[in-house]
Chains A and B, each alone.
Chain A
Amino acid sequence: GENVEQHPSTLSVQEGDSAVIKCTYSDSASNYFPWYKQELGKGPQLIIDIRSNVGEKKDQRIAVTLNKTAKHFSLHITETQPEDSAVYFCAASKGASYDKVIFGPGTSLSVIP
């Protein structure tokens, strides 16, 4: 089955700096890659997603890139703010219509004011 790896497991950045989280996936049939943010005591929240027919997608301070050949995808957060502090999960889903999302192990991001 699909396996998603994520690095780093923890990340500390100064407020205003950029943060980058990288993921790899194992199944070349995967074609949908969402990212979730989980704040303490809450459920994960979808923040951005990308499909395999697109190499890059941007939404304000957040951008995702996808390299299907290398099976890598990344989340970039620019101009980080303290409220960006949370656990971020990358995920992948395969090509079948009735498929579920497999999550990476998560990255705990701390933005230091």
Chain B
Amino acid sequence: NAGVMQNPRHLVRRRGQEARLRCSPMKGHSHVYWYRQLPEEGLKFMVYLQKENIIDESGMPKERFSAEFPKEGPSILRIQQVVRGDSAAYFCASSPGGAGGATGYGYTFGSGTRLTVV
């Protein structure tokens, strides 16, 4: 049973290019979350998606960033016109249900995509 799969592991982009990060959740998990981690910092929430729905995008910058989780295929985090400040590790997590409530679930994280903007 494969875990959360993220690819690529490392991505180098020049300023102004687009970055596409992919995440395939664990089998049976329909909730996907994206977090950003700057060097020596914590995990900052970006966006929470279910299949074909964005549940919460309160942590995602309004410009240049978008996310989707289509009916078929992986979740995609897209960063347009990347800048040096976008360099970070981007982690995807999945769960079988939401994290809140009396029956909230813990996350399973992928190994992350390390984005470097040069």
Assembly CA distance A102 to B48 (angstroms): 12
Assembly CA distance A102 to B91 (angstroms): 14
Q: Does A82 contact B (CB under 8 A)?
A: no
- Asked if A96 and B100 make an inter-chain contact with CB atoms under 8 angstroms apart, the answer reads yes
Closest 5 CB pairs of A and B: A99-B100, A43-B109, A97-B101, A105-B42, A93-B99
Question: Which A residues, 1 to 43, have Cβ-Cβ distances below 8 Å to chain B?
Answer: 1, 31-32, 34, 36, 42-43
Assembly CA distance A97 to B96 (angstroms): 12
Nearest opposing residue in chain B for A108, CB measure: B40
Indicate the member of A44, A96, A100, A101 with the most B CB atoms within 10 Å: A100
Nearest opposing residue in chain A for B110, CB measure: A43
- Chain A contact residues (Cβ within 8 angstroms of B): what range? 20 to 34
Interface residues of A (CB under 8 A from B): 1, 31-32, 34, 36, 42-46, 49, 51, 89, 93-106
Residues of B within 8 A of A32 (CB): 99-101, 104
Assembly CA distance A105 to B43 (angstroms): 7
Q: Does B52 contact A (CB under 8 A)?
A: no
Dominant secondary structure at the A interface: loop
Residues of A within 8 A of B106 (CB): 34, 46, 49
- Give 16 pairs: A residue, B residue, CB < 8 Å, sorted on A: A31-B100, A31-B101, A34-B107, A36-B109, A43-B111, A44-B43, A44-B109, A49-B106, A89-B43, A95-B102, A97-B97, A99-B98, A99-B101, A100-B48, A101-B33, A103-B42
- Asked if A104 and B98 make an inter-chain contact with CB atoms under 8 angstroms apart, the answer reads no
Dominant secondary structure at the B interface: loop
Nearest opposing residue in chain B for A103, CB measure: B43
Assembly CA distance A49 to B108 (angstroms): 13
Nearest opposing residue in chain A for B111, CB measure: A43
Assembly CA distance A105 to B103 (angstroms): 25
Q: Does B41 contact A (CB under 8 A)?
A: yes
Contact with A along B9-39 (1 / 0, CB 8 A): 0000000000000000000000001010000
Assembly CA distance A96 to B111 (angstroms): 28
Question: Which B residues, 104 to 118, have Cβ-Cβ distances below 8 Å to chain A?
Answer: 104, 106-112
Assembly CA distance A34 to B109 (angstroms): 13
Q: How far is the CB of A34 from chain B (nearest CB, A)?
A: 5
